[in-house]
Amino acid sequence: MRVRRVVTTRAGGASAAPYHSFNLSALVGDDPAAVVANRRRLATGVGLRPDDVVWMRQVHGTRVATVTEPPGEDLADTDAMVTDRPGIALAVLAADCVPVLLADPEAGVVGVAHAGRVGARNGVLPSLLTAMADLGAMPGRIEALLGPAVCGRCYEVPAEMRAEVHAALPGSGCATSAGTPGLDLRAGLRTQLRAHGVTRVDTDPRCTVEDPTLYSHRREGRTGRLAAVTWLEPR
């Protein structure tokens, strides 16, 4: 089964500053009408109906929702989703956190996760892998994409925090470009995926802090959110 993936930038939408212009989050203070227009443009631009794109109200948790039909509203208190239904697109929002897209094309299962520091540390990705396995996915067949996120060069944290996260997510501890304690969440997530048998991992190299075409909360404070979206194309 063919898997589709899309990652947005901040260009080409209806939102005014400071969200300009393709903000896809309804929770950052943007004009709701602009968010609706942006979400509609994203859906129709990739050949989907707006109602077929499922969005989450992310809370840096580990809850995984299994989606069997479009819910008609954003899923509350959810940071990961999985589906085996063609034509239902799963969207994850980010502005420095790691948007993760997973797929087992043979089983016909896709999943997404919002993996920020807290969610990654607490195991949102293993929770998603378990939910995908429940639908027939197998780690050796899963393809992963780690989307744009703050890189280790730019993600400075206290030394105690680096040690805490690295202990739960091996491979994530690093040094920033200034030589201070840092976190590379995508490096840690790659290590975690390999430990769970997922070896087909691609990483979008863009850093949200360094790339002005992407949203970055660390760079801007009040800002919008990009989206990473995946779905199974109906036969």
Query: What is the per-residue pLDDT across 157-199, written as a single tens digit (0 to 9) for each?
Result: 999 999 999 999 999 999 999 999 999 999 999 999 999 999 9
Task: Give domain status of residue 46, yes or no.
Answer: yes
Task: Give domain status of residue 217, yes or no.
Answer: yes
Task: Give domain status of residue 155, yes or no.
Answer: no
Instruction: Provide the residue range defining the domain that includes 76.
Output: 3-150+206-232
Task: Please list, in sequence order, all residues whose beta carbon lies within 8 angstroms of the beta carbon of residue 204, skipping any fewer than 6 positions away.
Answer: 7, 145, 146, 147, 148
Look at residue 234 in the predicted model and tell me its pLDDT.
81
Task: Give domain status of residue 72, yes or no.
Answer: yes
Q: Are 68 and 75 in contact (CB under 8 A)?
A: no
Phi/psi at 171 (5° precision)? 95, -10
| Assigned token pair, 42 | 């994203």
Task: Give domain status of residue 172, yes or no.
Answer: no
Query: What is the per-residue pLDDT across 114-123, written as a single tens digit (0 to 9) for each?
Result: 999 999 999 9
Q: What is the CATH number of the domain that holds 20?
A: 3.60.140.10
Task: Give domain status of residue 223, yes or no.
Answer: yes
Count of domains observed in the chain? 1
Task: Give domain status of residue 183, yes or no.
Answer: no
How high is the mean pLDDT of the chain?
Answer: 97
Confidence band, pLDDT 50/70/90 cuts, at residue 210: very high
